[in-house]
Amino acid sequence: MTLRPGLYTRAVLSPILAFRPARVAERLGRMSEACALAPTDLVGPAAGLGLPLALVRASAGPVARGALVAAKELLAPLGLALPPGLAPGRWFDVVTGAADEVAAGLPIFLSGEVVVEGEAPNQVEQAREQVWALVDGGVTHVAIDAGQVSAAQRARVLAELAEPTMERGVALDVVVDLAQATGRSSRALFVLGELRRARIVPAIVSVRCPAAPDAEAARAQAGALGRLVEAVGGVPLMRRGPLGDALCAALAGGPLRLVEDGGAAEEAALAALPSGAEAEAPPGAAHRGESRLAHAVEALGGEGVDRIEARAYLETTALLERLGLAGSAPRIARALLRRLERPGQR
């Protein structure tokens, strides 16, 4: 399947490019119509429509491109995520280049994640460098997973790592585990309270969730997430982890504001690689900030790349349709345009 950008006309949503964060606009230049916004600008209008935003993991260009074509065809907003540990600079260029070509003007957001390995000074400094790299690289949403930091030190570490995001106006996302966040004495929620007392309020709280094997488990998980939404006091909640039809049905119309694809598009892309292709990527690729999938893609011919784009396109189309996002981008854009016409209103 060949995804031809010529099939997609330039969008009429260009006035909302004014909402692009300063670093994004600086990196893109004046001629780009890649509409990378902060998720905080999109969550409110989407919530007004009763819809969550979708986030798709896309470490390789063809995955991002296939996902963007799906979003453009359906006129749906979309988030694209760089997995933790990878360098954001080239990824930003590839993803925004694809957005400018096949999804100009479509509201998207770009997400990066940092996993903190502990509270030792060198571990915190390494995580801080990663946060700065993401912020300077142009992402509009930084998720920080401090689950490996001791409970007593977690709020302090998160507050320190939040500084770059607050300085640059990038959405801060604090990642918690569902089981830990819903326990009777939830330290995860206590940490959020400590952050509030330090005048740091995350833009998003993400919850890592397991797969739901059946409809009953899906309803139970949706109920737990609904209670957690109330507990976090108005901060938008994102679900991260494997999805399925039962979970999407259970979550429909609920209070979740963002839903990650659980890596489905990336897994579909990996399945489309020729046998052994991923293994041929050098083991040190990840240490150099490269995605092994992206490296494997470089060795493929046009037909192989088309297969990966098509797989990502199909997975993203299914996700956006299940979440009810088809046709929502113009309505979200109109809400943003009203904000431009009436400055100061959210």
Tell me if residue 80 falls in helix, strand or coil. Answer: strand
- Walk along the chain (346 residues) and give the pLDDT tens digit of each residue: 544 443 334 444 478 999 999 999 999 988 899 999 999 999 999 999 999 999 999 999 999 999 999 999 999 999 999 988 888 999 999 999 999 999 999 999 999 999 999 999 999 999 999 999 999 999 999 999 999 999 889 999 999 999 999 998 899 999 999 988 876 656 677 888 888 888 888 999 999 999 999 999 999 999 999 999 988 888 999 999 999 899 999 998 889 999 999 999 999 998 888 766 554 545 544 444 567 787 777 767 677 788 899 999 999 999 999 999 999 999 999 999 998 887 665 5
The answer to the question of residue 334 being in a domain is: yes
Asked if 41 and 288 touch (Cβ cutoff 8 Å), the reply is: no
Tokens encoding 291: 């995605």
Q: Residue 267 class from Cβ within 10 Å (0-12 exposed, 13-18 middle, 19+ buried)?
A: middle
53-57 vs 78-82, strand pairing mode = parallel
The answer to the question of residue 346 being in a domain is: no
Give tens-digit pLDDT for 263-276: 999 999 988 887 66
Amino acid 343: pLDDT: 66
The answer to the question of residue 166 being in a domain is: yes
The dihedral formed by the CA atoms of 79, 83, 86 and 89, expressed in degrees to the nearest 10: 0
CATH number for 125: 3.20.20.70
Amino acid 305: pLDDT: 83
The answer to the question of residue 226 being in a domain is: yes
The answer to the question of residue 157 being in a domain is: yes
- Looking at residue 284, the DSSP 8-state letter turns out to be G
Q: What Cα–Cα distance (Å) separates residue 156 from each residue in 134, 208, 305?
A: 21, 21, 44
Which domain, by its residues, includes 96?
5-341
Asked if 212 and 218 touch (Cβ cutoff 8 Å), the reply is: yes
Q: Residue 86 class from Cβ within 10 Å (0-12 exposed, 13-18 middle, 19+ buried)?
A: buried
The answer to the question of residue 152 being in a domain is: yes
Amino acid 298: pLDDT: 74
Asked if 20 and 28 touch (Cβ cutoff 8 Å), the reply is: yes
CA distance 77 to 154: 33
Amino acid 303: pLDDT: 74
Tokens encoding 22: 């300063």
Beta bridge partners of 162: none
Tell me if residue 274 falls in helix, strand or coil. Answer: coil
Amino acid 80: pLDDT: 98
* Helices H / strands E in the chain, number of each: 14, 9
How many structural domains does the chain have? 1
The one-letter code for the residue type at 37 is L
The answer to the question of residue 207 being in a domain is: yes
Tokens encoding 139: 């992402």
Amino acid 330: pLDDT: 95
Amino acid 278: pLDDT: 55
